[in-house]
Amino acid sequence: MVVYQRVHDEILQALKDNVYPVGTLLPPEPELERIYSVSRTTVRRAIAKLSEEGYVQVRQGYGTMVLKNIYPSETFEFSRLHHFENTLSIRHVNVPNPEKMSARGMYINTVPADKVVSEALQVKLNTPVFRVQRIFYSGETPLMFLNNYVRTVFFPGLDQHTEQFWDLYPFLVRNYNVDYQGCTEYLSAAAADLVDSQILHISPGTPLLNSRRIAACNLGPLEYAVLRIRTDLMELCITMGPSVWPDTLN
C-alpha cells in the first residue's frame, strides 16, 4: 500500500471512531508526522485526499477542520456527499494556491421569505428568515457565492455569529443540537446576471453552475440554499467508493 494511502485510511478510521470530533481540528502537521512516522509531504497528500472526499476542510492559517461524522454513513455511500460545496474541485485550472480556499464577506441578516423560500422552509409567505451570505475564494479569486436561508425559530441568535464559522451544518449541529437528516440538491446551468458578475468578478452572461438545495434536520427543514459557481474555475468531483483518479492528474 502507498504510504499516504495508509495514513489516509488510519485518519479516516480515527474520524469514524470519533477520535477527532466534528467541528474540531486535526492535530497540526508536525504532530501528524510524529503520530504516523511519515514525512510532511505524505501527511499533506493524505489530508488532501480526505478533503477531496469531504471528510475534512483545510483552512489556511487556521487548521484542518473535521466535517464528519454528523452525517449518515452506515446505510449508503452517497451520504458522504452531504452537500455540494464539499464535492467541488479546483483541479485542472489555473487558480493561484487552489488549496487555500476560504470563505469571506459573510453577512447574516433577516429577510422576508419569498414564495420559493417559504415553500422550501415550510413557513408562511413573508415570514422572517435568516439569510447567510458567503463568498468563497481561492487566494484573491472569487469562486462561488452562497445564500443559505434558515428558520429563525430553529436557530435563534444566528445573526450574532457572523464570521464565526466556515461550514454551516457542523456549526448548527454543534451549537443548536440538531441532527442532520439529508438533503436534495438540484443542479442547472445559468448565465451570470449583473449581481453575479460584480460578486464573482466575471462578465454578465458568463456560464455558471447553479445549485439549489433543501436540507432536513430533526426539527424539520434545515435550510434552503442557492449556490452560484464559476465554471471556468471549478468542476464537480464526485467519488463513489475508493478514488480511482490518478494522483498525477490531481
Helix (H, G, I), strand (E, B) or coil at 221: strand
Residue-level pLDDT at 68: 59
Helix (H, G, I), strand (E, B) or coil at 104: strand
Q: 84-236: what fold?
A: Chorismate lyase (3.40.1410)
Q: Label residue 169 by pLDDT band (50, 70, 90).
A: confident
- Please tell me the distance from the alpha carbon of residue 240 to that of residue 62, in angstroms, as a whole number: 29
- Please tell me the distance from the alpha carbon of residue 205 to that of residue 203, in angstroms, as a whole number: 6
pTM: 0.64
Yes or no: say if 14 and 20 are a contact pair by the CB < 8 Å rule. yes
Segments of the chain assigned to CATH 1.10.10.10:
3-68
Architecture per CATH, domain 3-68, reads as: Orthogonal Bundle (1.10)
- Please tell me the distance from the alpha carbon of residue 115 to that of residue 125, in angstroms, as a whole number: 6
The size of the chain, in residues, is 250
Segments of the chain assigned to CATH 3.40.1410.10:
84-236
- Please tell me the distance from the alpha carbon of residue 54 to that of residue 58, in angstroms, as a whole number: 10
Residue-level pLDDT at 72: 40
- Please tell me the distance from the alpha carbon of residue 16 to that of residue 133, in angstroms, as a whole number: 31
How do residues 44-57 score in pLDDT, each as one tens digit?
999 988 887 778 88
